[in-house]
Structure formats: structure tokens, C-alpha cells
A and B are shown apart, each in its own frame.
Chain A
Amino acid sequence: MKLYKKEGNILQILSFPNETVEKGDYLLVEDLEARRALIAQVIDVQFASVPGVLEELLRSLPDGGELVQGEDFDPLEIAPHIAYIQDASLLVCKIRATVENENLSPSSSWLPSRSQSTIKKLPLPTLLKLAKIEGKLPIIIGGTKDSSLLTIDASHLDGKLNIITGKKETGKSHLSKLLMTSLVGYKATVVVFDLNGEYISLGMTSDGKRNAHHDKIHVLTPGQNFKTALKQVNLHVMLGILIHALHLPGTSAREFRRIWQSLKERNMLTLHEMGETIRTWNCNQHVRDALSSRYHALINSGFFTDNVCEATLLEDSLFRAKEQGGAIVINLRNTSAIDRQVVVEYVLGRLVEQLTSWNLKATFLFAEEAHLYLRETYWDDIVTRMRHFGIFTTFITNQPDTVKENIYRQADNIFLFNFTNEHDLDVVSRAARVDAETVRSIARDLPPHHCLTLGKVVKDFPIVVKVKAIDVKTMGETRLFFNDMN
């Protein structure tokens, strides 16, 4: 390999056919005289602009587009040399760091010698060692191309905003399960908004047996084993549900507050009493109608009950998880859009309560396709306010444009699976921790189950990894019509 050009933080390196370098590989451009080296990542492999190649190709096709047949008598065997030159490639690389005395710095301001520099592939284990990516709480994400393991430090997910994205069936949920179980293994509390019931069998192996996490996975299905009594709900949580999930107007919300306080003072906070009170409350008819319709929505959700024994306290699950770590899976499958929002408002409200009162240290929240249940204002809340409370969110989506731009800007880690759509790639490339060229070039060619890991977990060295398999019962499979016929 030969150094050809440097423009900004882009290096162009000439590579020959016997040097197998692919997109995503790291190269070490070492200038022995300067005692420094550049670490550059290949983001594109192009044909080198060799003069005469066009003539060469045209020459082989002059007979009406068909190859002219014939024999070549090439006694000196020059043809392999021609092929060698013709197949030379140009590696477009992004400079990621400078190594000087075994220390890394993000600088790319110096110019290595074009004639004297040596260029060689930088094995990922060496890079991981140089960048000190492994930590005290290792999570093995999977294998890299050169058969080494990519191990990240769980503490780099702590207090961070993460995004897992890629088109469907590329392995996003698989990675999120891996991260979840690993975090639970380190006694972390994890809350999952499970839209399709994919995570409910996290405690089971693929053959249906209990796995090591079985006792730490708490599946809460709203309306079934997850109900709450009004007495257990704080007024501001209920107001949050009514205003944000059920869109109760401000005037009606004020009347509701009075009704709630009246019932609470009389220790009569039940669904039945609330219905009666709304019916007989002295207020404007429109307000009564508004309150009445929301009341019936709460009743119909099946999430609220007057039977305290039937109610499940979210806190119970959280406390169980607090000691030994655990995942509370909120199973939102078969839950209507409105009810979903009611449940999410409730869970987030309760979580904030618990965190504010320091009953809980911190929680890792995994939100799949969050745009289907998160209200508009929560996005900003999650990246600003809630992070300070101790809710560290990981968004999982196959529609990157549904996640707000500021989320990408502030994301600390991105696990990017394959995308081919330009629009999707454009959206993801707005992330602050990576350059657009890397995202566009590498993500487009990622095979299934391979992810481009970006951000703090890899110390800003984008690394392609094949996510390791985990022995968990798969529940996210698409139901197929022709399944039985095959």
C-alpha cells in the first residue's frame, strides 16, 4: 500500500490486488522518522484511476458488444502485471487518531511522509488495546472480521443515550436483548417497552428451558398481570395520563384535580366513586362530558382496578430488580394505541417518582419504536431532564426518521445495522459522534446481524461487528401465511 493523498481528515491510499483490505478495516500509516502514526479507517474502496483502463475495456468489446475471441501469446507473462495494475484500488480512509508514544490523540493535523511511510492493516485487537476499549464490566458484542471479539464496557452505556437502528430483520432486537441481559447480569435495572412481545421470553432458552436470567425477568402485561388501583397512583401521574395520553383540555384537568382531591380527602379513590362524582359534580356540561369520556377510556383500558389485591405495584418489580438486577418487560403487544400511551405515561411517571425519591438509583430504559407511544414532549425530556433523574434510554427503531434529530445529535452510542435507503442514512448521519461518509459508506454494505458500532463504547473508533448469538427464545418472528406449506 502507498499513501497517495491527504485532504482534511481523508486519506487516499493506493492498494494492490494482493493486499486484501475492505471497508471498515483499520490501517496504521506509520512514519518512522516522525515517530508518529495515523490510524485511519477504510470507508470506501474504489478502483484506482489507472490511465488507459477505459481503452483496455473498450478494446475487449468492439464486436457488437460481444467479446472478440482470440489467443494471446504472451511469452513474458505481462498479462498478470496488466491485471495487477488494472485491479489496483484506491482506499478512501478517514483518519481516526494519531498514535505517538503509544498514546492516542484525535489529531490529524500532521502529514506523514508519502515516500517513507509504511502502511499496514491494524488488527482490531491491537486497536482495542490502544484505545483501551475494554473495561471492568465487559459486554461481548460479537466477533469482528478478523475473528477477534469486540468487548465494550457496560459503564459506557451508563448515563448514556443509545440508539439501535437498521432496517427490519437485520438483528436490532437481538442486540438489544444482548445488551439487556448483559446489563441485568451486572445487576442493573432495565425497563423495556416491548411493543411486539419480543422480550417476554428473555428468561427462556431457545428450547424453552429456563435460563440464568429467568428469575430476573419480570413481564408485566397491562390489563392482565399489570393493573393499578387509583389509590396507588399519584395525582400528577394521573394528570399526565389524562392530559398527554388522553388529551384532556386544561379546564377539564382543573376540575379533575378538584374531584381527585375531594375523593382522596374522603378516602374514596375508586373507579366507581370517581364515575359517580364526575356524574354529579357541579360543573359545565362540556367539562363533565370531557371528564366522562376520559373516565370511560380509563375503565376500558383494563389497566385500572378497584381491587387492590389484583393490582400489581410496578415498584415491587423495581425493588426486586434493584437488589440482584432485573428487567421489567412492559408487554405492549395486543394493547391499543391509546392504552399503550396510558401505560407508558404511567410507567414513566412512576419511574421518575422512584428516581426522584432515590428509591431507585438508575434505570436503563429500552424503548422499541418509541414514536408509537411516546408523546412529543417526552423526546426532549428523555435526553435532558430524565437523564438527570437516572433514566438512560436506548431507542430501537427501523424507521430512523421517527426519532427526533436532536436525539441523534445527543446520542452517545449508535449501533447501526444495514440501511440501503438514502433517506434513512441521511437521518442517521446527523449523529454528532460520527461523520456522514462513514455512515453512508459502511452501513449500506453491512450484512445481516452485522452492526457498525459508533460512539463512546468504542471510543469513537467505528467498528463493524457480527453480533453474537444468544440463547434466548425468539418471540419476534413474523407470522407467515405460507409457513406450513414449506
Chain B
Amino acid sequence: MVIEQYTITTTPKYNFPQPTIDTTLPQRLIEQSISSLRHQQNHAFQLNQQGFQQTANMDLHEDTFQLRMQPIPLKPIHEETTIGACDTSTIKIGETCTGMLVAVRGASVLKKHKSYRYSRLGPFIFHITEENKKEVYDALERAYFVSARKQGHLGLANLLQNPTRIASLLERWLQATLSRTMNGGVVLFDGSLTAGTGDTPVERLKGILLNARECKNVVLAFSKITNLRINGHLITDVTLQQKTPYLLETTGLRPRPPIVLLGDIYVARLSHGSFAFRLDIDKENTYERRIEALGKLMGNDVLSQGYPETLRLAHILCTFTANEVIAMQHFVVRRCRLNIINRPDMHRLLFGPYGRGESYS
């Protein structure tokens, strides 16, 4: 059983650019984690498996949105190329009387010389309260992205969104690290290349893409789920008689400010009988480089069900299992001497067998 958890979604917030990115280990994450936990010793602790609400409120003009039905055929290129991917995950591990305990973990995976190698960071456990949520986030942001975020901006984010933002911060840091440390490779992102959201300022994503290009890397962002529709149908549901692998190009998607699309959007069907995915490719790359990058991806990585194995591994490695959640609860109880309390389930209490429990609510 995997505990219900969400990967990061972008929110429509704007941020200023920042010039440099530190690629050392995320020391500040540890400091903030320990610091936030320190203030929580000897308190009561309610185990809770509820996940976070995702906010997917991207504002787009879809009236001009088009899907070109001329497929772009793709061919694998077997030239040795490094494939890199990263992903992060966050989960709530319990509640306290003032806030909640959350865990964040990130993983990056490199496919090189026909073997995979991973690097996993975390889990980092944070105690987030209304009082410290801004402090924790800002400290982390300043440490890694020398943030130029507008003051008061984060005050709009509620407590429940905070863990996803911390995870998003870690993910951007991992993406930045990959983009700068790889050379001539293909960098895979989980999600889209949409910027201008609360946790992804335009300049930050632009900086990551610029770094990637400077190091001759091409960024491909795969979205597992998309809401983009043509004539009421999801773009990934469109099927053609064309032999796979192929791309379908979209045009005319205009996001409302401050949202900015830093990539061109495609529908990628990369293996026979497989699923199609929304694929965002860095706009600044030429058409040839984009097609070449996809060819190298197909020639160097396994594409089971049309999804790159490197990215799948990154997701698998950062996802929390129920066992790990129990272990982290065990950790906080031991380390912070928290007392576990069992808060009555109001649904069960009021509705008996007809109450499905709070976790379903």
C-alpha cells in the first residue's frame, strides 16, 4: 500500500529571476528540518494519513488552442547519451496542535553506459505551523535561489500548500543541479515547463533552462496528467493511424499572465500500443535539436508504456511507502519525544458504519 501522496503542481504566482544556483548538498534543508522539529519536542502528535490538496488552477486561453494532426515521426538515435531525471515527493506524517509534520524527499537518476545510478536526498522532516511556514520556506529559498520573491507573496499560500512548495523548491534545485552537471545529455523533468506559479517563478525556470542549454542539454518535461483538451477531448486521447513513435505538435495556447509557458507543448506517443503524454520541450531549442533529443532518449532509455524509465525510477525512488511513513513517525516520536494521540474520527463517531472515516472525506 502506498500512502496517498502528491507530486508537485505549479500554482500561478510570479517570481523574480535569480542568477546563480548552488549545487552543493542542501544543507539548509537539514538545518530548517532540525530547527522546525526542535520546537516541537514533548508535544502531542496525531497520526494522520491525509494527503494534500493539489492546486491545479492554471489559467489558460484555450480558444485558439490547436493540435496539428500531421504526426512528426521519430527515430531512435543510438549514440551514447546521458539521460537524467529527477522528481520529489512529499507526505504528511502527522498533525500537532499547532501545525503538521511533513516529509520531503527528492531523487535524481542518471542513465549512463547502460546502467542507472541514483542520488536520493532526504527524507527531510519539517514541522510546519502558521507561524513558521514563511520562515522555513523563505530560508530555504534564499539558500538555494537567492530569491527575489516579493515580500508578503507567500502569505497567500495556506498551510496545506506549504509542503508541496518545499518539495517543489527541492525539485527545482535538483533540476538545476542536473542541468548544470550533465553535458550534452537529455534532462527529463516531471511535469510541464509552465512558470509564473507560486513555487516556480519564471526567472527561476528560465535560469534552469538556460543552464541546460549552456551545457548542451535538452530539457524534456513529461506530464503524466494533462487537462488540455481539443474539441472537448484530452489531447493525449487523440489517436492516429501513424506508426509509433511520433509527436503531435500543439499551437495557440496562450496562458493568462503571470503564467508563462517556457516550452512548446507536444503529444508524445513513444512506443507501440502505449500511452500518450503531454511533452513540453524548451522553446529555445531548435526543431532539429528537439527531434534529436527525443531520438537520443529513445535510443538510450527504456520506454516502457511510452514513459522514460529514468523518470519512472526517479519517481519510484522518491515516493514514500507506508513503511517509511511508519518509520518517520517512529523517528519523530523517539527523537522529539512526541506523544501520539488518537483523535476520534468524527465520521465514524457520528455515523457509525455509514461514516467512511476522515481519510475519505
Task: Give residues in A with beta carbon < 8 Å to B.
Answer: 50-53, 55-56, 59, 62-63, 68-76, 78, 81-82, 84-86
Contacts and interface: CB of A to CB of B under 8 A. Distances in A.
A88 B275 CA distance: 40
A76 B317 contact: no
B322 A70 contact: no
27 contacts: A51-B323, A52-B1, A55-B321, A55-B322, A59-B317, A59-B319, A62-B316, A68-B118, A69-B118, A70-B109, A70-B116, A71-B118, A71-B120, A74-B120, A74-B123, A75-B30, A76-B30, A76-B125, A78-B123, A78-B327, A78-B328, A81-B327, A81-B334, A84-B327, A85-B323, A85-B326, A86-B323
A278 to B, nearest CB: 85
Given A52-B2, A78-B328, A73 B121 contact: yes
B324 interface: yes
A71 B30 CA distance: 17
A68 B118 CA distance: 7
B116 A53 contact: no
Interface residues of B, number: 38
A85 B116 CA distance: 28
A70 B117 contact: yes
Given A52-B3, A68-B317, A76-B123, 6 more contacts: A52-B2, A52-B322, A55-B321, A59-B317, A84-B330, A85-B323
B316 A59 contact: yes
3 nearest A-B residue pairs (beta carbon): A52-B321, A70-B118, A52-B322
Contacts of A59: 316-317, 319, 321
A76 B331 CA distance: 9
Contact of B331 (A71, A72, A78): A78
Contacts of B118: 68-71
Interface string B296-322: 000000000000010011001101011
A82 B327 contact: yes
A51 B124 CA distance: 21
Given A70-B120, A75-B30, A63 B327 contact: no
B324 A52 contact: yes
B33 interface: yes
Contacts of B212: none
B355 interface: no
B40 to A, nearest CB: 14
B325 interface: yes
A78 to B, nearest CB: 5
A52 B324 CA distance: 8
B193 to A, nearest CB: 27
Nearest to B103: A78
B122 interface: yes
Contacts of B325: 52
A82 B122 contact: no
Nearest to B330: A81
A85 B2 contact: no
Interface in B31-49: 33-34
A72 B109 CA distance: 12
Contacts of B25: 73
A68 B116 contact: yes
Given A52-B1, A55-B2, A56-B321, A70 B326 contact: no
A19 B309 CA distance: 40
Contact of A81 (B116, B117, B119, B331): B331
Interface of B: 1-3, 25, 29-30, 33-34, 109, 115-125, 309, 312-313, 316-317, 319, 321-328, 330-331, 334-335
Contact of A53 (B33, B323, B330): B323
A390 B105 CA distance: 76
A50, A70, A86 — which one has the most chain B CB atoms within 10 A of its CB?
Answer: A70
Contact of B327 (A68, A71, A85): A85
Nearest to B33: A76
Contacts of B120: 70-74
A52 B309 CA distance: 22
B123 to A, nearest CB: 5
A352 B125 CA distance: 81
Contacts of A75: 29-30, 33, 122, 124
B316 to A, nearest CB: 5
A82 B30 CA distance: 19
B123 A70 contact: no
Contacts of A81: 327-328, 330-331, 334
Contact of B119 (A52, A53, A73): A73
Nearest to A68: B116
B143 to A, nearest CB: 14
A177 B25 CA distance: 69
Contacts of A51: 1, 321-323, 326
A71 B119 contact: yes
Contacts of A52: 1-3, 321-326
Contacts of A76: 30, 33-34, 123-125, 331, 335
B181 to A, nearest CB: 14
Nearest to A53: B323
A55, A63, A72, A76 — which one has the most chain B CB atoms within 10 A of its CB?
Answer: A76
B172 to A, nearest CB: 17
A56 B2 CA distance: 10
Contact of B323 (A56, A68, A71): A56
A438 to B, nearest CB: 31
B313 A62 contact: yes
A57 to B, nearest CB: 10
Contact of A50 (B29, B317, B326): B326
B105 to A, nearest CB: 9
Contacts of B321: 51-53, 55-56, 59
A82 B118 CA distance: 19
B43 to A, nearest CB: 18
Contacts of B119: 70-71, 73
Nearest to A70: B118
Contacts of A86: 323, 327
Contacts of B122: 73-75
Nearest to B334: A81
B248 to A, nearest CB: 30
A59 B89 CA distance: 15
B335 to A, nearest CB: 8
A167 B25 CA distance: 60
A474 B308 CA distance: 69
Nearest to A69: B117
Contacts of A63: 115-116, 313
